[in-house]
Structure 1
Amino acid sequence: MQINKFLCLLGFLLSVAVQAQIEKVEPPFWWSGMQQEDLQIMFYGENIAEYEVAAGDDVIVKNVIKTENPNYIFLTLNTGTLPAGSYNIDFKRKGKKSFSKKYELRERRANSAMRKGFDASDVIYLIMPDRFANGDPSNDSHPSVTEVADRKKQGGRHGGDIRGVINNLDYLEDLGVTAIWSTPMLEDNDPAYSYHTYAQSDVYRIDPRYGSNEEYRELAAEMHKRDMKLIMDYVTNHWGAEHWMIKDLPTYDWINQFPGYENSNYRMTTQYDPNVAEIDLKYCVDGWFVRTMPDLNQRNPLVLNYLIQNAIWWIEYADLDGFRVDTYSYNDKEGIAKWTKAIMDEYPNFNIVGEVWMHDQAQISYWQKDSPIGAIQSYNSYLPSVMDFTLHDAILEMFQEEEASWDKGMIKAYENFVNDFLYADIDNLLVFAGNHDTNRINEQFDGDLDSYKLATTLVLTTRGIPQLYYGDEIGMRGDKGKGDGDIRRDFPGGWEGDENNAFNAEGRTKMQEDYHSFTKTLLNYRKQKEVLHFGKLLQYLPEENVYVYFRYNENERVMVVINNSPNERSLDPGRYAEGIKGFPGGTDILTGRTHKLSEPIKIAGKTPMVIELK
């Protein structure tokens, strides 16, 4: 009995000694059977580099890297032939007690490598979790992070969390949503304005005010039960100033320094300007997005590998279906291409969409995989999907231009799609009317439901992957001119005591229900229609501010009519014979009305039609 007590005490003391030497291990564990066989493990602890590192006989150590900071060791192992299990990593130093640290390789999910990412059959719903729903008020504030919840502060934490999203998945499924893109949920310990979570302080930990790593994995599992997909917002360009590694840099060049801070000039066109001045390119790529977001240096192989492994870790751990990458075109373009390729090599059917906020199709196209524009400079980003910001630009303007002219009104939609030849994969463009960084479309339209219907019809029936912004479907407004917090208001009903609960039909106001019912009808129709997912697009020059286009495949045809004029229009079916293809009639799925296509089609002012040809 005494011997057992002694052994237990000895084990405890050895465990304490190990913990005193090693404060962090990242990745915290890994998986066997990965395409990327080499695993680089980072050990962090006070003067840990004074130790020599070795592994058991069955583990191949590729290399050990020690940097100018003695608190880090980077150990690379070959895991190609290692089965799942725990493996000893030994730390030895003359004159000091040696110790071992167990490292775990886990079994992968079946067919994990072949997971299918989001695509044009999906409709993505963008959520800011802090502003969506508060499912667990007990985590609104947390002792391990600084900022506390205060709904009175426009730019403060409001208490929305993962549990709130899980609790409202039925609402989203009923609406017709098939995927969720959530703005980042990793820990952000910025002392103020941390609710957006883009200044991350620990990229292996869900922010405790949102919940836990386990709850995030639960969210993915609950979504998969409903055939829904989870997309993580991933940030490769920068971390927050409060990140623990920023406070104790592994290497001076872990971040881009001038020395210290210089702001980005935000001129992303310098990335491919053949006449660029090097100083301008440097300030775009190496400059910090803002002072509180140190810019990561992907030219440093340790940084790049850390980011690759962290991204793969979250895909495996949480069973993710995609990434949206923040500020994609601010990264070092060679480094971000290597990051993207490594992930797509590991998961060939995965999908990643990059934020490339530019206002020219050729410049956006440059960043898509196999781009004919990028090929001019022998550049390939390997990024499957980019965001169609030029369509977004047109949407904000054209639906307020009721009188058409040479360059105003619906011609802006037509001209946007004219340039589709610039893209390598036109079905893999993200199309949207608004997001968390833009003015609310219902603010832009001054609460005009008719304009919302026109814009939403276009987004949900044209080519590409549609994305909606939370609350637009109930008419939520917000003015970016009043601050970002105003376009990121709380979803009504997400907090106990809210005046109305828009998650339930009985709780919605008449105005909210008018928006919701239209959106739900169109979303659930689209969900079942492959022709709206991957069908070809045939468009006609707008006449009298009426834009007509068809989505078609071998089996089906849908005719979309968007009358942006305030006046009723009459369409001659003969002009659209190529699209109608001999079909005698069709049904407008928005109203249930049937139309004979041998007769003029009358459409009321500021009205859309989605006619399924039969």
Structure 2
Amino acid sequence: MKKLIFFLFLSISSIAQITRIEPPFWYSDMNHADVQIMFYGKNIAQNEVSATNLIIKNVQKTENPNYLFVTIDTKNVAPGTFVFTFKNGKKSFTQNYTLKARKKDSALRKGFDSSDMIYLIMSDRFANGNPNNDSSPNLIEKADRTNKDGRHGGDIEGMIQHLDYLQELGATAIWPTPLCEDNDEKGSYHTYGQSDVYKIDERFGTNEDYVRLSNELHKRNMKLIKDYVTNHWGYKHWMMDDLPTYDWIHQFPGYKQTTYRMTTQFDPNASALDAKICMDGWFVKSMPDLNQSNPLVLNYLIQNALWWIEYADLDGFRVDTYPYADKNAIATWTKAIMDEYPNFNIVGEAWLYSTAQIAYWQKDSKVAAIQSYNSHLPSVMDFMLQSILNEGVLHEDKSEWQKGIVRVYNSLASDFLYPDINNLLIFAENHDTQRLNQFYPEFEKYKLTMMLLATMRGIPQLYYGSEIGMAGDKNKGDGDIRRDFPGGWPGDSQNAFTQAGRTPEQQKYFEITSQLFQWRKAKKVIHTGKTTHYVPENNVYVYFRHNENESVMVLINNSNEKQTVSPERFAENLAKYAQGKDILTQKSFDIRKPIEIEPKSGFILELK
């Protein structure tokens, strides 16, 4: 009996030796067929490993005996459950591992593109669909809605419950801020300091809830974009207490903060030291900087990204702080994803205020090619346009050489630097910037901004709540630009998710936003048409979006005076047309005659 108990103890002890397996399972028929499985557990590296019906191509140990990286070949291996045997002397144990079947045509999935309007959701602040998960006994920070910088309880269920609202608004894709676990003691609601990148934070829901969100979106022909962080994790990430290798993160030794000087990544005159500190320094002290130049780290990140695409049936990534990662490694990461999914889309955050510097990071950039660099990144964020809007261009009532709406014109005049102008993310604000309705509190200027975003080249992105006039002052802290959406919480005094619950002012904002983006959905001429624009006169900007079949004329009067636009100047774009119908008022114009435009207003004319 004692002997039996002893052997049972050995068996249980050995099984308990593996406490984590990442990725937890994989998929058959992947281009990324050599899968590196990370087994973690006390002294796991002391074991020899074999597998039944699988080819083990490599077993890699590190200086930490608690990790074992086992690479298997899954090429031409059918879905099923396979058995790994771990043996240390006379002791051995087994561990199952599953290869699952991919969804039909998974590799051909189509990512978000210029036909979409992306709705950016601050996940903790949009809607609380399940108050029971507001706090978790397994996670440190508890819900406290009275704290503007605390967790408020927004979750995945809240998103699912309001997808009809987003459809009515005209959104075709959503980008929630990160949803994976963030176990920081405070400020964890933003979730950019993740503690487990294979697990949805319990306060947002479960992995299964995330899959359900994806499924519900796809039922509506909408898309799901995952906010992915390659540059850093949170200091509460489970590995931080037991790193696989000393150089899994950047150490100097210990902590050194980045200078945030992204220019050092392409400046031909930059010192090697400055480039290193920018790229390898930590974003903030609570976010350890990942060393993507370590092959184990890079492969871990590639596999994690591919796993989420397959598992949650994703339509795209938005990549946080893209240029802060190792420059060559992030290009490898991006290419691996795009090789697996050629029609997928990834947009990178390159927060720079120069068109050339932003364009450097887009795939096949001629600017980057000077340095023999290619990021392979399909889409970049047009921070140049955003900065012009954010700096108050619509407050500049008088036309000067470098003031007024000509600044928007000048921005688009540099479009020749972008390899793919239709694959730019255009926006006026996001979760890190001043709120649109804070720097333009006047409805007329909000309307002009939406008219620009709805008709310019690129992929428009709207930040949650702006469509009902929500404001917020970044000077009062991030919590103020990330307020709760009214009606998202049980017991809210107002529910702005419904027309009946919106104030007349909120309804005015909602209607103009919905009208513009519902119209845009079917307009290929806006999605992929050519742009022809004219140098602004009297602070009036006129541009055309056109293709072989149709043409749209956009007129923006940024002055405080009524302006008259004469058609003769635009003859090259108007020669075939006699009439234009404004999509907002349905008013028809004889475009062979002068058009009067009221102050701070505009027209979007479909030409006939």
With the shorter chain as reference, the TM-score category is over 0.9
Q: Distance in 1 between matches of 2:221 and 2:34?
A: 33
Alignment match, 2:274: 280
Q: Distance in 2 between matches of 1:293 and 1:419?
A: 35
- Kindly indicate whether residue 577 of structure 2 is the aligned counterpart of residue 583 of structure 1: yes
Alignment match, 2:456: 462
Q: Contact conserved, 1:137 with 1:159, CA < 8 A, in 2?
A: yes
1:188 pairs, out of 182, 195, 202, with 182
The aligned runs of 1:35-434 (5 Å cut-off) are 35-56=31-52, 58-95=53-90, 97-396=91-390, 397-434=392-429
Q: Distance in 2 between matches of 1:284 and 1:226?
A: 42
- Kindly indicate whether residue 29 of structure 2 is the aligned counterpart of residue 27 of structure 1: no
Aligned length: 604
Q: Which of 201-210 and 453-462 deviates more?
A: 453-462
One-letter code aligned to 1:48:
I
Change (3 A) 1:362 1:14: same
Q: Which secondary structure state, in structure 1, belongs to the residue aligned with residue 414 of structure 2?
A: helix
1:56-104 per-residue CA deviation (whole Å, 9 max, x = no partner) reads 2x21111000100010000000100210001111100114x20010100
One-letter code aligned to 2:328:
E
2:605 pairs, out of 602, 607, 611, with 611
CA offset at residue 339 of structure 1? 0.2
Q: Contact conserved, 1:18 with 1:101, CA < 8 A, in 2?
A: no
Q: Distance in 1 between matches of 2:7 and 2:382?
A: 58
One-letter code aligned to 2:84:
I
One-letter code aligned to 1:513:
Q
Q: Distance in 1 between matches of 2:547 and 2:383?
A: 27
CA offset at residue 598 of structure 1? 1.4
Q: Distance in 1 between matches of 2:295 and 2:249?
A: 12
One-letter code aligned to 1:110:
K
One-letter code aligned to 2:429:
G
Q: Contact conserved, 1:264 with 1:285, CA < 8 A, in 2?
A: yes
CA offset at residue 251 of structure 1? 0.1
Q: Distance in 1 between matches of 2:462 and 2:549?
A: 28
Identical counterparts, % of pairs: 60
CA offset at residue 16 of structure 1? 4.0
Q: Contact conserved, 1:201 with 1:244, CA < 8 A, in 2?
A: yes
Q: Which of 126-135 and 396-405 deviates more?
A: 396-405
Alignment match, 1:561: 555
Q: Distance in 2 between matches of 1:164 and 1:402?
A: 41
1:277-306 per-residue CA deviation (whole Å, 9 max, x = no partner) reads 111111100000000000000000000000
RMSD between aligned residues: 1.4
Task: Give every structure 1 segment of 4 or more consecutive aligned residues whose post-TM-superposition deviation is greater than 6 Å.
Answer: 9-15
Q: Contact conserved, 2:195 with 2:235, CA < 8 A, in 1?
A: yes
- Kindly indicate whether residue 592 of structure 2 is the aligned counterpart of residue 598 of structure 1: yes
Q: Distance in 1 between matches of 2:225 and 2:11?
A: 38
Q: Which secondary structure state, in structure 1, belongs to the residue aligned with residue 188 of structure 2?
A: coil
CA offset at residue 237 of structure 1? 0.1
Q: Contact conserved, 1:411 with 1:541, CA < 8 A, in 2?
A: yes
Q: Distance in 2 between matches of 1:171 and 1:11?
A: 60
CA offset at residue 274 of structure 1? 1.1
1:383-405 per-residue CA deviation (whole Å, 9 max, x = no partner) reads 00000000001112211111121
Q: Contact conserved, 1:63 with 1:77, CA < 8 A, in 2?
A: yes
Alignment match, 1:485: 479
Q: Distance in 2 between matches of 1:72 and 1:199?
A: 23
Q: Distance in 1 between matches of 2:218 and 2:365?
A: 32
Q: Contact conserved, 1:474 with 1:516, CA < 8 A, in 2?
A: yes
Q: Distance in 1 between matches of 2:422 and 2:265?
A: 25
One-letter code aligned to 2:33:
E
Q: Which of 424-433 and 273-282 deviates more?
A: 273-282
One-letter code aligned to 2:416:
F
CA offset at residue 11 of structure 1? 12
One-letter code aligned to 1:121:
S
CA offset at residue 530 of structure 1? 0.8
Q: Distance in 2 between matches of 1:281 and 1:183?
A: 28
- Kindly indicate whether residue 433 of structure 2 is the aligned counterpart of residue 438 of structure 1: yes
Q: Which secondary structure state, in structure 2, belongs to the residue aligned with residue 427 of structure 1?
A: helix
Q: Distance in 2 between matches of 1:222 and 1:495?
A: 21
1:91-128 per-residue CA deviation (whole Å, 9 max, x = no partner) reads 00114x20010100000000000000000000000001
One-letter code aligned to 2:283:
F
One-letter code aligned to 2:438:
E
CA offset at residue 582 of structure 1? 2.1
**What runs of 5+ residues in structure 1 fail to find an aligned partner?**
1-6
CA offset at residue 413 of structure 1? 0.5
Q: Which secondary structure state, in structure 1, belongs to the residue aligned with residue 531 of structure 2?
A: strand
Q: Distance in 2 between matches of 1:325 and 1:215?
A: 22
Q: Distance in 2 between matches of 1:219 and 1:185?
A: 12
CA offset at residue 13 of structure 1? 7.3
Q: Contact conserved, 2:15 with 2:93, CA < 8 A, in 1?
A: no
Q: Distance in 2 between matches of 1:27 and 1:460?
A: 40
Q: Which secondary structure state, in structure 2, belongs to the residue aligned with residue 305 of structure 1?
A: helix
Q: Distance in 2 between matches of 1:32 and 1:151?
A: 44
Q: Which secondary structure state, in structure 2, belongs to the residue aligned with residue 595 of structure 1?
A: strand
Alignment match, 1:544: 538
Q: Which secondary structure state, in structure 1, belongs to the residue aligned with residue 495 of structure 2?
A: coil
Q: Distance in 1 between matches of 2:381 and 2:283?
A: 20
Q: Contact conserved, 2:14 with 2:92, CA < 8 A, in 1?
A: no
Change (3 A) 1:14 1:559: farther
Q: Which secondary structure state, in structure 2, belongs to the residue aligned with residue 224 of structure 1?
A: helix
1:139-195 per-residue CA deviation (whole Å, 9 max, x = no partner) reads 000011100011111110000000000000000011110000111000000010000
